[in-house]
Chains A and B, each alone.
Chain A
Amino acid sequence: DGGITQSPKYLFRKEGQNVTLSCEQNLNHDAMYWYRQDPGQGLRLIYYSQIVNDFQKGDIAEGYSVSREKKESFPLTVTSAQKNPTAFYLCASSAVVVSNQPQHFGDGTRLSIL
């Protein structure tokens, strides 16, 4: 079955450490997204990419970085510059050409500070 795989499910970060969250999709979607979810704040867009080797900042990109070297993969790095990284991170994808199509989500990665 096609879908989106996020790993790991739980991740712990030490002070001053960068960590990378993995997101892989086999839906042949062009667009991929990273969201951050905090209690009571809904989903906030960090970065998104509509084509390989290109990506745009979302609403809260500071302290994060991404790459899009392959259509299937869109890893997110939480850098040491992100001072409050504890959150639930969701990856999504969609077929960008037809804008009435929904986004499909992975099961998330929960990041905590040690």
Chain B
Amino acid sequence: AQSVTQLGSHVSVSEGALVLLRCNYSSSVPPYLFWYVQYPNQGLQLLLKYTTGATLVKGINGFEAEFKKSETSFHLTKPSAHMSDAAEYFCAVRPEQTSGSRLTFGEGTQLTVNP
């Protein structure tokens, strides 16, 4: 069985500061990993995904994430926060060798950006 842990349910940064949102997973087989963003009263939007190949993945809105197998982590970063980045962020995992497409989501991290 796979699980996802997002460290910190709330993260607050200043505008222009580094954003770091943490995600650790447990999976018995190599996983596929995803980060989603959710703005208030909206659905989830895909930020980026890791499947195979390069471990540093670039996504939309200047976000990127690095897959570290030895640390079972997939942390999301952005060098300089904008006010528009304030939202909730979800990490999700699917083991590579499973058929079908069911995802397991973390509990989410609410990002606040202060002016």
Are B43 and A107 in contact, with the CB atoms below 8 A?
yes
Interface centre among B36, B49, B52, B100 (most CB of A within 10 A): B100
Write the residues of chain A forming the contact surface with B, with a CB cutoff of 8 angstroms: 4, 6, 31, 33, 40-43, 45, 48, 50, 88, 90, 92, 94-96, 99-108, 110
Q: Which residues of B contact A4 (CB under 8 A)?
A: 43
Number of residues of chain B lying within 8 A (CB) of chain A: 26
Question: Known: A96-B100, A103-B103, A110-B41. Contact between A42 and B108, CB under 8 A?
Answer: yes
Q: Contact check, A96 vs B41: say whether CB atoms are below 8 A apart.
A: no
Chain B interface SS verdict (over half): loop
- The interface centre, meaning the residue of B36, B45, B52, B105 with most chain A CB atoms within 10 A of its CB, is B105
**A42 near B105: Cβ-Cβ < 8 Å:** yes
- A100 near B51 with CB under 8 A, answer yes
Can you list 23 contacts pairing A with B, beta carbon distance less than 8 Å? A6-B43, A31-B101, A33-B102, A40-B9, A42-B90, A42-B106, A43-B44, A48-B102, A50-B100, A90-B44, A92-B44, A94-B101, A95-B101, A100-B51, A100-B52, A100-B96, A102-B34, A102-B49, A103-B101, A103-B103, A104-B46, A105-B44, A107-B43
Cβ distance A104 to chain B, nearest Cβ, rounded Å? 8
In the bound complex, CA of A43 to CA of B46 (Å): 15
